[in-house]
Amino acid sequence: MSDLIELVHRLGSPHVLVIGDVMLDRYVWGDAERISQEAPVILLRADHREERLGGASSVATMLQALGARTQLVGVVGDDSNGQHTRQMLDSLGIDAEGVLTTNDRPTTVKERYIGRAQARHPQQMIRVDYESRDSLPADLEQRLASILTTKIRQADIILISDYDKGVCTPGLLRTAITRAQARGIRILADPTRGGDYAKYRGCSSITPNRLEAGLATRRTLRTPEQALDAAAELCATLQLEAGIVTLDKDGMAFAHRDGRRHLFPTRPRQVYDITGAGDMVMATLGLALAAGADYDAAIRLANIAGGLEVEKIGVATVTRQEILADLLHAPFASAHRLPSAAKVVSLAQLVNELDARRRNGQTIAFTNGCFDVLHAGHVQYLAEARRQADCLVVALNSDDSVRRLKGPTRPLNPVEARALVLASLHDVDYVTIFAESTPAALIAAVRPNVLVKGADYRKEDVVGAAFVESYGGRVHLAEFHSGFSTTQLIERMKAA
């Protein structure tokens, strides 16, 4: 994950232009207590109401939360919902100069009723939509096209969020695609379900979900491999740079015009609500590509952000800090820890990941040793070391280093085996290997908050102690557990 951590840190603040159907999402929350006496329906006792931006304005909101400079082009109705939508956009700092007001249609509103059963986890009960699906009249389309021509000059990437509410007409999209191509910037579309996909021809990429891609290609997509075929077909027929099919729990299927085809799996999540997951994928994908990422890294990052979004109720935002915390397996993401082999890292990888952890507010503990034959004393020692900080780094002596310290018959286990055993422990976050006789240089590179050694040492004898204390760190002498010794264990095994 180190490349994704680096990508998050260099995302910057690209200018992203979002075109599409501006909406208002309303949530009515309450307790679903009983069946109504009037009809066989659930009676919801409402206790509060919440409003969020939806549709294309949801994508814009997510981009803004991720640190982009966002411009939005679309329409709202000349009504109180439209006024409220504008106020919300302004409060978030989204450039809504390109959002026009029209009196020929209402502001699109999706009203969701969320019920709790016996005060347990809330579930969506019903959704009520207020909308018009008619295409924009010619004069309004022309006004939006004129705005697009101006706004595109400032954009690093363009995202089309098409919910089939009439804004994303073939004519308007042709203007956007032509202008994007002329400027040499990417334009991505999250397409509508069904309909004529010809209007997306010439986009850099489109991101339909499984059902949308199946309808567009007249296929039934039961497997990820079938989704790859659909992505490749869309890429060819619509003259795209890449076709990307989102597959919810199965991740994403990617097909590039150069012949590359790849499945990007996603990590299992506790799914609370899939609402907004597609918007989050689009927002993150666009931001990453605008920041110079390739499709591989952008898709992987979008998988992470989309997974975080479905763990929230409704259309919710995700921040860079949340993404970093998930990548770094912070305490609230600890259920998804790194597999053992991935914890064994080079010094360069280690420094990069620790830097990201520090930016996320985490502290680092460091210890070192040979750990030739791991025993209960080691396990208790490492558990105490881990309790001193948010993350524990174990520096492991190389085989040559162990021989210099312990003699020619040691180690019994090669460094690869010792590293893997250490990395399998829950309390160990990283293992890195050093060849020197002491870890002084490694400590200088890592700069831990806490340096840990056993209580059989005196602090003044601990390598690196003075250096760590010089910048405000501390030295912790962990409890010595008698009765455990690698040398004695080896002697007993020989005797047996």
Structural tokens at position 122: 């809330």
**DSSP 8-state class, residue 192:** P
The whole-angstrom separation of Cα 39 and Cα 37 is 6
Give every CB contact of residue 307 below 8 A, 6+ residues apart in sequence. 266, 267, 269, 326
The whole-angstrom separation of Cα 239 and Cα 232 is 10
Query: Backbone phi, then psi, for 29, in 5-degree steps?
Result: -105, 150
Which amino acid does the sequence have at 46?
A
**DSSP 8-state class, residue 137:** P
The whole-angstrom separation of Cα 474 and Cα 488 is 32
Structural tokens at position 327: 């990548």
Structural tokens at position 381: 């020692």
Neighbours of 142 (CB within 10 A): 14
Nearest to 212 by CA among 191, 239, 198, 233: 191
Residues with catalytic function: 279
Structural tokens at position 260: 């590359």
The whole-angstrom separation of Cα 214 and Cα 389 is 49
Give the N- to C-terminal CA distance of the chain in Å, as an integer. 45
For residue 336, CA distances in Å to 202, 365, 397, 430, 486 come to 39, 21, 28, 15, 32
Burial class from Cβ neighbours inside 10 Å (0-12, 13-18, 19+) for residue 247 reads buried
Q: Which long-range contacts (CB under 8 A, 24 or more apart) does 461-468 make?
A: 463/438, 463/439, 464/439, 464/440, 467/440, 467/443, 468/443
Neighbours of 396 (CB within 10 A): 22
Angle value at C-alpha 277, between 203 and 273, nearest 5 degrees: 160
